[in-house]
Amino acid sequence: LLAYLCSDEPDYDDGRVPPPLKPPARLKGGRRMWLPRPAPTEWGVGARIGAAIRSFAPPTESRGHTGDGTPTGRTVRPHIRRAHWHGFWTGARKEPEKRRFVHRWIPPIPINVRPDDELPAVIRAVKKNKGEAK
Protein backbone atom coordinates (compact mmCIF):
# COMPACT_ATOMS: atom_id res chain seq x y z
CA LEU A 1 0.00 0.00 0.00
CA LEU A 2 2.81 2.40 0.85
CA ALA A 3 4.49 1.79 -2.51
CA TYR A 4 1.18 2.57 -4.25
CA LEU A 5 0.79 5.84 -2.34
CA CYS A 6 4.36 6.83 -3.28
CA SER A 7 3.80 6.13 -6.98
CA ASP A 8 3.62 8.90 -9.60
CA GLU A 9 -0.18 9.14 -9.64
CA PRO A 10 -1.74 7.55 -6.56
CA ASP A 11 -5.54 7.39 -6.45
CA TYR A 12 -6.82 8.81 -3.17
CA ASP A 13 -10.14 10.48 -2.45
CA ASP A 14 -9.40 13.21 0.01
CA GLY A 15 -6.99 16.08 -0.53
CA ARG A 16 -7.26 17.27 3.07
CA VAL A 17 -4.08 17.54 5.07
CA PRO A 18 -4.30 16.45 8.71
CA PRO A 19 -4.07 19.33 11.20
CA PRO A 20 -0.59 19.97 12.56
CA LEU A 21 0.32 18.60 15.96
CA LYS A 22 -0.22 20.95 18.86
CA PRO A 23 2.90 21.79 20.82
CA PRO A 24 3.47 19.46 23.77
CA ALA A 25 1.79 20.29 27.06
CA ARG A 26 4.18 21.45 29.78
CA LEU A 27 4.01 19.70 33.10
CA LYS A 28 5.57 20.55 36.46
CA GLY A 29 9.32 20.23 36.55
CA GLY A 30 9.80 21.28 32.90
CA ARG A 31 8.67 17.93 31.47
CA ARG A 32 6.63 17.81 28.28
CA MET A 33 3.84 15.47 27.25
CA TRP A 34 2.51 14.95 23.72
CA LEU A 35 -1.26 14.68 23.63
CA PRO A 36 -2.82 12.10 21.28
CA ARG A 37 -4.87 13.20 18.29
CA PRO A 38 -8.65 13.25 18.85
CA ALA A 39 -9.39 10.68 16.11
CA PRO A 40 -7.58 8.84 13.32
CA THR A 41 -7.65 10.36 9.82
CA GLU A 42 -9.24 8.17 7.13
CA TRP A 43 -8.09 8.30 3.51
CA GLY A 44 -10.00 6.54 0.72
CA VAL A 45 -7.40 4.90 -1.54
CA GLY A 46 -7.86 3.23 -4.93
CA ALA A 47 -11.57 3.97 -5.36
CA ARG A 48 -11.38 4.75 -9.09
CA ILE A 49 -9.07 1.89 -10.02
CA GLY A 50 -11.01 -0.53 -7.80
CA ALA A 51 -14.29 0.46 -9.47
CA ALA A 52 -12.76 -0.10 -12.92
CA ILE A 53 -11.52 -3.56 -11.92
CA ARG A 54 -14.88 -4.55 -10.37
CA SER A 55 -16.84 -3.34 -13.42
CA PHE A 56 -15.00 -5.69 -15.79
CA ALA A 57 -17.37 -8.07 -17.59
CA PRO A 58 -15.62 -11.07 -19.14
CA PRO A 59 -16.52 -11.93 -22.74
CA THR A 60 -19.41 -14.36 -23.16
CA GLU A 61 -17.47 -16.87 -25.23
CA SER A 62 -14.34 -18.57 -24.00
CA ARG A 63 -11.31 -17.40 -25.93
CA GLY A 64 -7.70 -18.49 -25.82
CA HIS A 65 -4.89 -19.36 -28.17
CA THR A 66 -5.13 -21.35 -31.35
CA GLY A 67 -3.11 -24.53 -31.85
CA ASP A 68 -0.32 -22.68 -33.67
CA GLY A 69 0.25 -20.24 -30.75
CA THR A 70 -1.28 -17.10 -32.28
CA PRO A 71 -3.55 -15.07 -30.00
CA THR A 72 -7.27 -15.08 -30.69
CA GLY A 73 -8.06 -11.63 -29.28
CA ARG A 74 -8.82 -12.65 -25.71
CA THR A 75 -9.36 -9.90 -23.16
CA VAL A 76 -7.16 -9.77 -20.08
CA ARG A 77 -8.95 -8.92 -16.87
CA PRO A 78 -8.05 -5.44 -15.49
CA HIS A 79 -5.51 -5.60 -12.69
CA ILE A 80 -2.69 -3.68 -11.08
CA ARG A 81 0.81 -4.86 -11.92
CA ARG A 82 2.74 -4.96 -8.68
CA ALA A 83 5.41 -2.32 -7.97
CA HIS A 84 8.94 -3.71 -7.93
CA TRP A 85 12.63 -3.00 -8.39
CA HIS A 86 13.89 -3.72 -11.89
CA GLY A 87 17.43 -3.89 -13.23
CA PHE A 88 18.41 -2.13 -16.46
CA TRP A 89 21.60 -2.02 -18.46
CA THR A 90 22.59 1.55 -19.37
CA GLY A 91 25.29 2.82 -21.70
CA ALA A 92 26.44 1.97 -25.20
CA ARG A 93 26.05 -1.70 -26.09
CA LYS A 94 29.22 -1.69 -28.20
CA GLU A 95 31.34 -0.30 -25.33
CA PRO A 96 31.15 -2.81 -22.43
CA GLU A 97 33.45 -0.74 -20.21
CA LYS A 98 30.90 2.11 -20.20
CA ARG A 99 27.86 -0.09 -19.48
CA ARG A 100 26.34 -0.09 -16.01
CA PHE A 101 23.63 -2.18 -14.39
CA VAL A 102 21.25 0.10 -12.43
CA HIS A 103 18.20 -0.67 -10.30
CA ARG A 104 15.09 1.47 -10.69
CA TRP A 105 11.75 1.48 -8.92
CA ILE A 106 8.81 0.58 -11.19
CA PRO A 107 5.57 1.97 -9.67
CA PRO A 108 2.26 0.07 -9.74
CA ILE A 109 0.85 0.05 -13.28
CA PRO A 110 -2.87 -0.33 -14.10
CA ILE A 111 -3.31 -2.96 -16.82
CA ASN A 112 -6.34 -2.91 -19.15
CA VAL A 113 -8.15 -0.26 -17.07
CA ARG A 114 -10.56 2.09 -18.82
CA PRO A 115 -9.09 5.44 -19.91
CA ASP A 116 -9.33 8.37 -17.48
CA ASP A 117 -12.04 10.09 -19.53
CA GLU A 118 -14.43 7.21 -18.79
CA LEU A 119 -13.70 7.09 -15.05
CA PRO A 120 -15.69 9.30 -12.66
CA ALA A 121 -14.19 12.76 -12.20
CA VAL A 122 -12.62 13.73 -8.89
CA ILE A 123 -12.95 17.39 -7.91
CA ARG A 124 -10.68 18.77 -5.22
CA ALA A 125 -11.11 22.23 -3.72
CA VAL A 126 -7.99 24.38 -3.96
CA LYS A 127 -7.39 27.19 -1.49
CA LYS A 128 -5.73 30.39 -2.67
CA ASN A 129 -2.57 31.51 -0.94
CA LYS A 130 -2.75 34.83 0.86
CA GLY A 131 -1.57 37.68 -1.31
CA GLU A 132 -2.32 36.01 -4.66
CA ALA A 133 -4.16 38.00 -7.32
CA LYS A 134 -7.63 36.84 -8.35
pLDDT of residue 66: 57
**What is the four-CA torsion angle of 18, 123, 43, 11, rounded to 10 degrees?**
-120
In a domain, 100, yes or no: yes
**Higher model confidence: residue 56 or residue 123?**
123
In a domain, 103, yes or no: yes
pLDDT of residue 19: 63
Average pLDDT for residues 58-86, to the nearest whole number? 68
Query: Does the pLDDT value for residue 62 go beyond 50?
Result: no
**Which tens digits make up the pLDDT trace of 88-133?**
898 998 998 989 888 877 777 778 776 654 556 667 777 777 766 6
In a domain, 42, yes or no: no
DSSP line for 82-119: PPEEEEEEES-TT-GGG-EEEEEEEPPEEESPPPGGGS
**Higher model confidence: residue 60 or residue 118?**
118
pLDDT of residue 108: 76
In a domain, 34, yes or no: no
**Which tens digits make up the pLDDT trace of 122-134?**
677 777 777 666 5
Query: Does the pLDDT value for residue 72 go beyond 60?
Result: yes
In a domain, 38, yes or no: no
In a domain, 3, yes or no: yes
Q: Which residues span the domain enclosing 2?
A: 1-15+48-53+74-122
Please tell me the number of Cα atoms within 13 Å of 98 on its side-chain side: 5
In a domain, 31, yes or no: no
Query: Does the pLDDT value for residue 33 go beyond 60?
Result: yes
Mean of the per-residue pLDDT values of the chain: 70
In a domain, 82, yes or no: yes
Number of domains in the chain: 1
